[in-house]
């Protein structure tokens, strides 16, 4: 990292000095009450709010930066009062905060055109709608123009400020963009920063960055061809851009700090089978490696022909303990998306949403996290209601399947009539919105709903235990099992331990449990087949859990896998946290047995490896092979952790949750939770040093 | 068909030979190295192993036990709500073990790896080991050994493997006796046959502070192996304080004969002067 970047990193990340420029927080209801009083239509509210933000932003330019823009207004005000929201909720389903979120816009629709050209397009569209006398469409398009005005006015203020502080580079960029398309890679990065900044100002969130290495590459290439930039110069600029994503991120809404959806996708197969990974993809990996920042969150698209060197570069990133790159397997994901009805070219262009859901840039208004199925509830309800009357496992499983269907039907019913707040600026970067004068909130080419599935492993393990002990060995009668569960195993301790530690587990490369996982995921997929939502889309089953796993586990009684009442399920597509498994190879072999193309909404297998497994370059290349093996065996998505101090500390406090946490001690590996405290402390200390 | 005693099977071993490997740990060792980090691998019989760190002292294990001294009956294992107890050491036939290894063999082969036999000292169960190796045709087989076995056993096992990782702790026989409990003559004899043989191998040195972390020991080792055509490299494994972590689990005290707090001296330069590649693991 060159000196200029490290001093900027220090300024923004370590010392957070830019925060002194922040204005006082706005009254969240500053605009909403006026809107209500004057009965302002929703689209106008969104426009006025965004313009308010842009018009009141103060330009701040640092002397040594090349890519400017920082938020000074902490919070975009709301556009509805609480009363209004409640009224809407009475007749509509509101997803999360109601705003457009978690999609990936096609930045090139503004970036490659420049605002002048975009204005021309909008004006054409206005003429067309004027001809039909379509007043409301004309009004919508005029609103879009006025947003462009405010973005340009802000850019103008940045240009003046840059001149004032003597920053010629930034002044030069803003004298060109956004009116014109960028003339250089640097200007393209500045303009992308401006577009992304504006999205956040509009209160849209989980604003993903998509295939940055694809839509930005032509700007880099042009500079390289003209000799304006070399590899190191490009790396410097990408680092500065990545840094800019961490400036205001504390202001972005999310479940917790860092959950801001700034995901970025690198590489991937082209439709003709060639590889899209380019020099910029590599630069991004290197920039992330040097910066060691949580944003952007890197996703790496791989396939069977991905060279091992790329996995190695990815593994070096994993070694830093930030939890990315997250890998997705084109060989599985693309087919899965095509099977769901996505056009081939769109499927090949997939990106990930904020976390891991697969979505389509510029054309997808999918809500890939609209709700979640609880696999565990499906099993538990069947156990409580039907187990005692079942003669065999197949009969019992039919009831589980019925419960899955019932839950899914309820979810489909509950997610009707979704109301999404208008997002006019985002609409400028989504297919057809300008041509049709139709805001993105009304939908786009794809309007599918994704449904997560929580507690897969808990459900599989529970079913495996029932199959084995109740129906095969008859060691535990159905009556005893139900009584044990209802009493949270009090008085049934030995049964609990048997279920918990001796029963077959998903993740041990054991056909007994793994075949049940296949059944369960297939049942989920079948339950959603041919179902349509009321926005013209379908439902997509997935292996993710998001926060639902906590909500679903909180009140869940003890389960037949020996899980205690209220104990958390593992997150996403991961094995039980208390079963001691054979190791990562068995986990990978088990978790690639289900047909993951059928449950392709997204949701990764998470593997935690201790950072000592990454110690030598040779070992790093072996971890890379482990990742590759998951893909080779048909895995869809993988997230790897080099385990850090926080996890170790948590493991010390809550050993039950970290049974599979492996640490390399000295020439041997052991289970962290089995070490005595003294040694645990020692390893924690060592982790501290290795960071 | 012979039966052996193993105490662990580890997946995804990255420091136990080429590629991704599964490592089989054979129980029983003739050495008693003062720095041994696998105390449960020493005795040639099953042992109760208890992870005391997270024990909540609920006392259930004691309720079912009528014995004054542990007879490894295993009754207490299933009483523990936290699964902290296990019988370390499992009897297994060569056929069964080979079957297990082969079942996963394809996976490891696809990633340039195979299986490694470690311990304990795998050469302590030669019949079982040889029979298992014999059943593993087509799988890349490696062994991690102290080299403490008669030369005939050593040679016959080596001939059945593809890669050897052999420990050389100390060249000085007096010190070797002091710190490991055995004489190293037989080890050095086996090393010599490895050096003149046609099997790829590496030499591992556990680098122990104040015991063998000095130039003279490194030079002595280098002298012994400098002309070995099949030597891949020397692997230096610096001692770490956590080596004693498992003693408590097998109800023993860790009482090393050296200062565990002393920093370890490592010199790769000495080996490179002899033209020997080395790596610190």
Tens of pLDDT along B183-228?
A: 999 999 999 999 999 999 999 999 999 999 999 999 999 999 999 9
The model's pLDDT over A398-456, given as tens digits with 9 standing for 90+, comes to 999 999 999 999 999 999 999 999 999 999 999 999 999 999 999 999 999 999 999 99
Is there a contact between A157 and A72 (Cβ–Cβ < 8 Å)?
A: no
Question: Greater confidence, A680 or A668?
Answer: A680
Centre a 10 Å sphere on the Cβ of residue B238 and count the other Cβ atoms it contains. 18
* pLDDT tens digits, one per residue of A76-133: 999 999 999 999 999 999 999 999 999 999 999 999 999 999 999 999 999 999 999 9
| Chain B stretch 242-281, residues whose beta carbon is closer than 8 A to a beta carbon of chain A | 242-246, 248-249, 279-281
Residue among A476, A472, A675, A618 nearest A560 (CA): A476
Q: Which residues of A touch B37 (CB under 8 A)?
A: 665-668
Residue B19 burial (CB count, 10 A) = 19
Q: Over chain A, what is the mean pLDDT?
A: 94
Q: Beta partners for A662?
A: A671
CA B118 from centroid of its chain's CA atoms: 4
- Residue A663: closest CA among A648, A646, A653: A648
DSSP label at B243?
Answer: G
- Residue B11 has its nearest CB partner, among A496, A583, A670, at A583
Of A124-138, A316-330, A642-656, the range with the lowest mean pLDDT is: A642-656
Question: What was the pLDDT predicted at A642?
Answer: 81
**Per-residue pLDDT, A685:** 66
Q: Token pair of A448, please? A: 């599918």
Beta-carbon contacts of residue A290 (< 8 Å; ≥ 6 apart): A1, A235, A239
B103 and A589 Cβ atoms separated by less than 8 Å? no
Mean pLDDT of all residues in A133-156: 98
Cβ neighbours of B9 in A, within 8 Å: 582
Exposed (0-12), middle (13-18) or buried (19+): which is A358, by Cβ within 10 Å?
buried
User: Is the per-residue pLDDT at A363 higher than 70?
Assistant: yes
Q: Which of A137-146, A491-500, A643-652 has the lowest mean pLDDT?
A: A643-652
Q: Which of residues 121-180 of B touch A (CB under 8 A)?
A: none
Taking one residue from A and the other from B, the number of pairs with CB-CB distance under 8 angstroms is 121
Domains by residue range for chain B, with CATH: 3-46+89-280 (3.20.20.70), 49-85 (no CATH)
Distance CA(B112)–CA(B162), nearest Å, equals 12
- Asked if A224 contacts A73 with a C-beta cutoff of 8 angstroms, the reply is no
pLDDT band at A690 (very low <50, low <70, confident <90, very high): very low
- Give φ, ψ of A29 to 5 degrees: -100, 15
CB A491 within 8 A of CB A565: no
SS (H, E, C) A634-691: CCCEEEEEEECHHHHHHHHHCHHHHCCCEEECCCCEEEHHHCCHHHHHHHHHHHHHHC
- The secondary structure of residue B184, as a DSSP letter, is S
Structure tokens at A47: 């426009």
Question: Can you state the angle between helices A42-56 and A185-201, rounded to 10 degrees?
Answer: 120
- Nearest-CB residue to B242 (from A580, A655, A679): A679
The β-bridge relationship of strands A326-329 and A637-643 is: antiparallel
Say yes or no for a CB contact (<8 Å) between A670 and B246.
yes
Is B240 close to A665, i.e. CB distance below 8 A?
yes
pLDDT of residue A510: 96
A636 to chain B, closest Cα gap in Å: 18
8 Å CB contact of B248 and A676: yes
pLDDT at A361 over 70: yes
Q: Among partner residues A509, A667, A670, which is closest to B237 by beta-carbon distance?
A: A667
The predicted pLDDT at position B3 comes to 96
- Domain boundaries defined on chain A: 367-427+439-603
**Alpha-helical segments (H) within chain B:** 60-63, 94-110, 126-134, 151-159, 173-180, 185-196, 215-225, 269-273
Distance between CA A181 and CA A172 in Å, rounded?
13
Distance CA B170, CA A56 (A): 75
What's the confidence (pLDDT) of residue A670? 55
Question: If pLDDT is split at 50, 70 and 90, which confidence band does B24 have?
Answer: very high
Per the CB < 8 A criterion, the answer to whether B10 and A583 are in contact is yes
Q: Does residue B279 surpass a pLDDT of 90?
A: yes
* Interface check A254 vs B, CB under 8 A: no
pLDDT at A668: 43
The predicted-structure confidence for B92-120, as pLDDT tens digits, reads as follows 999 999 999 999 999 999 999 999 999 99
What residues of B are in contact with residue A304 (Cβ under 8 Å)?
none
Q: How far is A580 from chain B (nearest CA, A)?
A: 9
Rounded CA gap, B200 and A552, in Å?
55
**For chain A, percent of residues with pLDDT exceeding 90:** 84
Question: Which of B52, B240, B280 shows the shortest C-beta gap to A676?
Answer: B52
CA distances from B159 to A249, A681, B65, B151, B194 (A): 61, 44, 47, 12, 10
- The H-or-E segment that residue A154 falls in is helix A135-165
- pLDDT tens digit string along A537-548? 999 999 998 889
SS3 label, residue B236 = strand
Q: Is the ipTM of this complex over 0.85?
A: yes
Q: Is the pLDDT of residue A10 over 80?
A: yes
pLDDT at A233: 98
The per-residue pLDDT for A662 is 64
Model confidence at A661, pLDDT cuts 50, 70, 90, reads confident
Residue B237 has pLDDT above 50, yes or no: yes
Cα-based angle A339, A340, A342 (whole degrees, multiple of 5): 95
Question: Does residue A685 sit at the B interface (CB-CB below 8 Å)?
Answer: no
- Taking alpha carbons only, the member of A150, A103, A148 closest to residue A121 is A148
Q: Is the per-residue pLDDT at A667 higher than 80?
A: no
Largest CA distance in chain B: 62
Cα separation, A433 vs A416, in Å, equals 23
Of A512, A670, A462, residue with least CA distance to A583:
A670
Determine the pLDDT at residue A590: 98
In chain A, pLDDT over 70 holds for what percent of residues?
96
Q: Answer whether the bond into residue A296 is a cis peptide, omega within 30°.
A: yes
Q: Residue A56 pLDDT > 80, yes or no?
A: yes
CA distance A39 to A43: 12
Structure tokens at A239: 């680092």
CB A31 within 8 A of CB A206: no
Average pLDDT over residues A65-81: 97
HSE-up (13 A, CA, CB side) for residue B50: 19
Q: Which pLDDT value is given to residue A277?
A: 98
- Tokens 């099992």 found at: A481
- A673 contact B CB<8A: yes
Query: In Å, what is the CA distance from B244 to each residue of A498, A676, B175, B241, B251?
Result: 31, 10, 21, 7, 12
Instruction: Determine the Cα–Cα distance for residues B176 and B108; give it in Å rounded to an integer.
Output: 36
Residue A582, chain B, CB below 8 Å: the answer is yes
Is some CB atom of chain A closer than 8 A to the CB atom of B74?
no
Q: Both tokens of residue A81? A: 């009062």
CB A601 within 8 A of CB A489: no
Q: Which of A236, A299, A294 is nearest to A268 (CA)?
A: A299
From chain B, the residues in CB contact with A671 under 8 A are: 51
Q: Which residues does chain A have within 8 Å of residue B20's beta carbon, measured at their own beta carbons?
A: 585, 622, 625-626, 629
Give just the sign of the alpha carbon dihedral A213, A214, A218, A224: positive
Q: How many CB atoms lie within 10 A of CB A632?
A: 17
Which residues neighbour A412 within 8 Å (Cβ) at sequence distance 6 or greater? A531, A533, A539
- A68 CB-side CA count, 13 A: 28
Q: Report chain B's mean pLDDT, rounded to a whole number.
A: 95
Give the residues across from B233 on adjacent strands: B202
Return the DSSP state at B9.
E
Cβ–Cβ < 8 Å for A544, A356: yes
């Amino acid at each position: 990292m060159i000196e200029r970047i490290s001093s900027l990193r220090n300024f923004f990340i370590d010392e957070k000095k830019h925060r002194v420029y922040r204005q006082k927080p706005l009254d969240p209801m500053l605009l909403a009450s006026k809107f209500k009083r004057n009965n302002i239509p929703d689209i106008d509210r969104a426009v006025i709010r965004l313009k308010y933000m842009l018009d009141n932003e103060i330009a701040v330019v640092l002397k040594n930066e090349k890519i400017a823009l920082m938020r000074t207004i902490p919070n975009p005000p709301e556009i509805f009062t609480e009363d209004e929201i409640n009224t809407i909720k009475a007749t509509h389903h509101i997803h999360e905060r109601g705003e457009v979120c978690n999609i990936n816009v096609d930045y090139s629709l503004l970036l490659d055109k420049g605002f002048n050209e975009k204005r021309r397009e909008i004006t054409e569209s206005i003429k067309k709608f004027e001809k039909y006398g379509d007043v409301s469409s004309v009004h919508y398009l005029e609103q879009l123009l006025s947003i462009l005005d405010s973005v340009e006015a802000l850019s103008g203020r940045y240009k003046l400020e840059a001149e004032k502080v003597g920053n010629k580079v930034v002044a030069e960029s803003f004298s060109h963009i956004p009116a014109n398309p960028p003339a250089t890679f640097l200007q393209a990065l500045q303009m992308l920063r401006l577009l992304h900044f504006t999205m956040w100002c509009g209160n849209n969130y989980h604003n993903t960055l998509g295939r940055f290495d694809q839509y930005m590459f032509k700007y880099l290439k042009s500079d390289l061809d003209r000799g304006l930039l070399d590899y190191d110069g490009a790396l410097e600029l990408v680092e500065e851009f990545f840094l800019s994503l961490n400036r205001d991120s504390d202001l972005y809404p999310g479940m917790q700090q860092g959950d801001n959806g700034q995901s970025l996708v690198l590489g991937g197969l082209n439709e003709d089978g060639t590889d899209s990974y380019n020099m910029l993809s590599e630069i991004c990996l290197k920039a992330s490696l040097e910066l060691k920042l949580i944003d952007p969150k890197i996703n790496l698209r791989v396939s069977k022909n991905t060279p091992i060197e790329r996995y190695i570069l990815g593994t070096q990133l994993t070694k830093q303990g930030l939890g990315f790159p997250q890998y997705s397997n084109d060989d599985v994901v693309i087919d899965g998306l095509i099977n769901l009805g996505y056009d081939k070219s769109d499927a090949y262009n997939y990106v990930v949403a904020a976390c891991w859901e697969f979505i389509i840039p510029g054309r997808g208004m999918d809500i890939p996290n609209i709700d979640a199925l609880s696999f565990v509830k499906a099993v538990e309800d069947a156990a409580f209601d039907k187990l005692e009357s079942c003669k065999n496992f197949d009969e019992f499983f039919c009831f589980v399947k019925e419960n899955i269907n019932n839950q899914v039907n309820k979810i489909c019913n509950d997610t009707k009539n979704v109301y999404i707040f208008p997002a006019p600026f985002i609409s400028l970067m989504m297919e057809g919105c300008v041509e049709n004068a139709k805001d993105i909130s009304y939908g786009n080419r794809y309007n599918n709903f994704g449904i997560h599935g929580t507690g897969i492993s808990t459900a599989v393990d529970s079913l495996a235990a029932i199959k084995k002990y109740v129906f095969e060995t008859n060691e535990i009668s159905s009556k005893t099992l139900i009584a044990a569960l209802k009493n949270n195993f009090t008085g049934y301790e030995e049964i609990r331990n048997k279920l918990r530690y001796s029963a077959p587990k998903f993740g041990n490369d054991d056909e007994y449990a793994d075949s049940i996982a296949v059944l369960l995921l297939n049942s989920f997929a079948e339950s959603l087949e041919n179902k349509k939502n009321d926005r013209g889309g379908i439902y997509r089953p997935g292996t993710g859990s998001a926060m639902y796993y906590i909500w679903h586990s909180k009140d869940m009684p003890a389960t037949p896998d020996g899980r205690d009442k209220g104990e958390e399920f593992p997150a996403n597509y991961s094995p039980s946290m208390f079963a001691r498994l054979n190791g990562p190879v068995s986990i990978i072999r088990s978790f690639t047995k289900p047909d993951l193309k059928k449950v392709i909404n997204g949701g990764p297998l998470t593997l935690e490896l201790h950072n000592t497994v990454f110690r030598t370059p040779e070992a790093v290349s072996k971890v890379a092979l482990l990742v590759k093996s998951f893909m080779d065996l048909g895995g869809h998505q993988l997230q790897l952790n080099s385990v850090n101090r926080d996890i170790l500390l948590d493991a010390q406090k809550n050993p039950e949750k970290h049974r599979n946490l492996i640490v390399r001690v000295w020439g041997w590996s052991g289970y962290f939770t089995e070490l005595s405290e003294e040694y645990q402390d020692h390893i924690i200390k060592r982790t501290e040093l290795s960071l | 068909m012979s039966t052996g005693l193993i105490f662990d099977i580890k997946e995804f071993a990255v420091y136990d030979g080429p590629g991704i490997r599964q490592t089989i740990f054979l129980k029983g060792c003739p050495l008693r190295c003062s720095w041994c980090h696998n105390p449960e691998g020493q005795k040639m019989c099953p042992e109760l192993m208890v992870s005391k760190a997270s024990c909540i002292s609920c006392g259930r294990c004691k309720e079912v036990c009528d014995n004054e001294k542990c007879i490894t009956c295993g009754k207490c294992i299933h009483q523990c709500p936290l699964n902290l107890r296990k019988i370390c050491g499992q009897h297994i036939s060569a056929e069964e073990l080979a079957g297990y290894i082969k079942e996963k063999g394809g996976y490891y082969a696809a990633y340039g790896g195979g299986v490694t036999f470690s311990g304990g000292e795998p050469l302590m169960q030669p019949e079982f080991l040889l029979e298992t190796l014999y059943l593993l045709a087509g799988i890349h087989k490696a062994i991690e050994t102290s080299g403490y076995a008669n030369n005939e056993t050593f040679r016959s096992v080596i001939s059945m493997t593809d890669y050897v990782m052999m420990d050389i702790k100390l060249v000085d026989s007096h010190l070797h006796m002091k710190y490991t409990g055995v004489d190293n003559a037989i080890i050095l004899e086996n090393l010599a046959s490895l050096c003149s043989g046609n099997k790829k191998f590496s030499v591992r040195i556990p680098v122990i502070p104040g015991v063998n972390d000095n130039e003279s020991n490194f030079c002595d080792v280098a002298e012994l192996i400098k002309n070995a055509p099949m030597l891949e490299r020397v692997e230096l494994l610096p001692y770490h304080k956590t080596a004693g972590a498992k003693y408590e689990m097998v109800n023993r005290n860790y009482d090393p004969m050296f200062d565990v707090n002393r920093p370890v001296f490592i010199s790769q330069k000495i080996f490179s002067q002899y033209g020997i590649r080395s790596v610190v693991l």
